[in-house]
Amino acid sequence: MAAAAKHVGINPVEVLQTEVIIVGAGPVGLMLANLLGKFGRKAMVLETLPSLIDYPRGVGLDDESFRTIQAVGLDGQVLPHTNPQHIMRIVNANGTVMLVNNPQTKEFGWDRKHGFIQPEVDRVLYEGLDRFKDISVYFNHTVVDAEEDADGVTAVVNVLEDNGATKTIHVRGQYLVGCEGGKSPTRKRMGVSFDGESPSTRWLVVDVNNDPLGTPNVFLGADPHRPYVSIGLPHAVRRFEFMLHDHESEDQVTDPDFVNELLKDHVPDPSNLDFIRRRVFTHHGRVAGSFRKGRQLIAGDAAHLMPVWLGQGWNSGMRDATNLGWKLATVLAGDADDALLDTYTAERRDHAAAMVELSLTFGKFIKITNPVGAKARDAASKVLNLLPQVKDYFASMKFKPMPRYHTGVLVDPSTQRPGTAAAKITAKLTPFRTANSDVSPVGLQFPQPLVMTDAQGEQKLDDAIGPWWSVVVWGNDPHKVLPEESIQQLKALGASLVCIVPQTQRDFLQAQISDDVTVLGDHTGAVKKWFDDRPTPVVFLRPDKFVAGACLVQHAPATLAGILAAMHRSQQDVHTAYSAR
């Protein structure tokens, strides 16, 4: 993409038009642009820097993010830049392993943890935008102000030209999303709080090529003398991180001799390393009070900053883009009132805050420098490791809070009330009382098992059902579950109709079912088990693959009506939906 050429010849008084102005060509801005392009919308990405950042920052990519990468069709291009099943071991000062984090699940279709090379993955996201004629990226473009009115927002942009001169242009859109990092001018213009803490502890990051160790995983060194991190990454890159003491200045700790001294216990010959960078950074734990104000929104580090301990900064930004992308596309298409965008803060803020708190707590466990406290921690870890349930809790990463939305585009399965969903099913019908679990699936991500399709054979579920809304019915034709009025509402929403049956029934049902229904075979039994454990054989999936509604067959029309209300469909559509209840 010849981004530099895209601003050549622009008249300074000309106003460029788009639908969404994205400020920042980091991973969050690039992913949001990919999602909007995938959904057929228009966007311009405006970046102050002359090019993408070419050094590593984030090093951990999780299964939720990979699912989003899959959703925009770039998983094949990203995979070569990842190490799946990235195991993390926490060791004490003697190198004794205290805890192991090695989750085995592929619940969402991908390994739960991957090491990755961020510059390469960011470049895949950037180059992926070439597919979309209405998505553009402009480097050397700095947004200096934004002016809102009733119909849109105008960004005032300083453009650095090839000859070194600067000119000012305007870019007009319906919405502006700030993805420009922790110092976000967009957030400051919005005037929202940025609550939390910025611990004074500083760390030195050292990235090197031609990994001098070659071990493939992650070690967190809980050494009270100087806590450290050693991470094996793809393409033979290794990252070291060392906690700095208060008296150590930035000039001192980035001096090659000082760095070599830090590395001498980790690398046989520190003087013979191919350094990528040596950089000091401080951990922050902050969350914005709101992610939206009027026509301006924020995502990624602009909305929340978290310590690096659990590798969730990059991934939390991906979750923001995943949540916001389909909502912006829906509003821009005129399929919902822009009150739908208020659900972005309602759904994303609490989980971001929970991840920040967990990361801060985890960091406090690692960076104990008091020798007595460190010995107490090591002793407690040794005892806890003797308990299988506790050991599994850390190994399987069960301490990580999975996103669960309680308010937003949801319908409670017990009451069919729109806009909210309790964590437990409280209905008293026998199917609910006798189910294997009373945990509500609404507000959680639906799993992504492998399924069998008629045309493609074995596929991941998301690839089989498509990127937009879908209604998934176990064992039956959606036309027989929902009245015609509801079917037409689903079609107006662009939803796919899906039936999943045991693989033994697929060919039989395929020959009898309506042409507009996708029939999938459950050849592994994973889908049947999910439905067997829950009294909700009808599931309404949002484009981000979160469950908007889940119910018994006879509750399906009312559940759909609630979903349409919760997503702020037009008054006519909402009235029609409620009349069906």
Q: pTM for the complete prediction?
A: 0.89
Q: What is the mean pLDDT of the chain?
A: 87
Q: Are strands 470-474 and 304-305 parallel, antiparallel or unpaired?
A: unpaired
Residue 170, phi then psi, degrees to nearest 5? -120, 140
Those residues with Cβ within 8 angstroms of residue 73's Cβ, 6 or more apart along the chain or in another chain: 38, 128
- pLDDT bin (cut points 50, 70, 90) of residue 395 is very low
Token reading at 520: 């999938």
Residue 208, phi then psi, degrees to nearest 5? -135, 145
CATH of the structural domain 202-282, one choice from 3.40.50, 3.30.70, 1.10.760, 1.10.3860:
3.30.70
- What's the mean pLDDT in 176-199? 90
pLDDT the model gives residue 6: 40
- What's the mean pLDDT in 24-52? 97
pLDDT the model gives residue 579: 33
- Lowest-confidence region among 27-41, 181-195, 379-393: 379-393
Of 138 and 105, the structure prediction assigns the larger pLDDT to: 138
Give the separation between CA 470 and CA 540, rounded to whole angstroms.
6
Q: Are strands 175-178 and 20-23 parallel, antiparallel or unpaired?
A: parallel
- Name the DSSP class of 81: G
CATH superfamily name and code, 3-71+116-192+287-359: FAD/NAD(P)-binding domain (3.50.50.60)
Those residues with Cβ within 8 angstroms of residue 311's Cβ, 6 or more apart along the chain or in another chain: 58, 59, 60, 61, 62, 113
User: Measuring CA to CA, how many Å separate 22 from each of 82, 138, 270?
Assistant: 27, 10, 42
CATH superfamily name and code, 407-579: Glutaredoxin (3.40.30.10)
- Residue 205 identity (one-letter amino acid): V
State the Rg of the chain over Cα: 25
- Residue 121 identity (one-letter amino acid): V
**191 neighbors 146 (Cβ within 8 angstroms):** no
What number of other Cβ atoms are within 10 A of residue 526's Cβ?
Answer: 16
Token reading at 552: 């018994």
Q: Domain ranges for the chain, please list them.
A: 3-71+116-192+287-359, 202-282, 407-579
Sign of the dihedral through C-alpha 125, 131, 133, 134: negative
Nearest Cα to Cα of residue 63 among 118, 111, 105, 124: 111
pLDDT in tens, 189-229: 999 999 887 666 788 999 999 999 998 888 888 888 888 89
Element (H, E) at 115: strand 113-116
User: Measuring CA to CA, how many Å separate 14 from each of 11, 169, 172, 381?
Assistant: 5, 7, 10, 64
pLDDT in tens, 238-293: 999 998 988 989 899 989 999 999 999 999 999 899 999 888 887 777 899 999 99
For residue 379, pLDDT over 70 is answered with: no
pLDDT in tens, 450-476: 999 987 899 999 999 999 999 999 999
pLDDT the model gives residue 96: 83
Which segments of 339-423 does DSSP mark as H helices, in order?
342-366, 371-384, 388-395
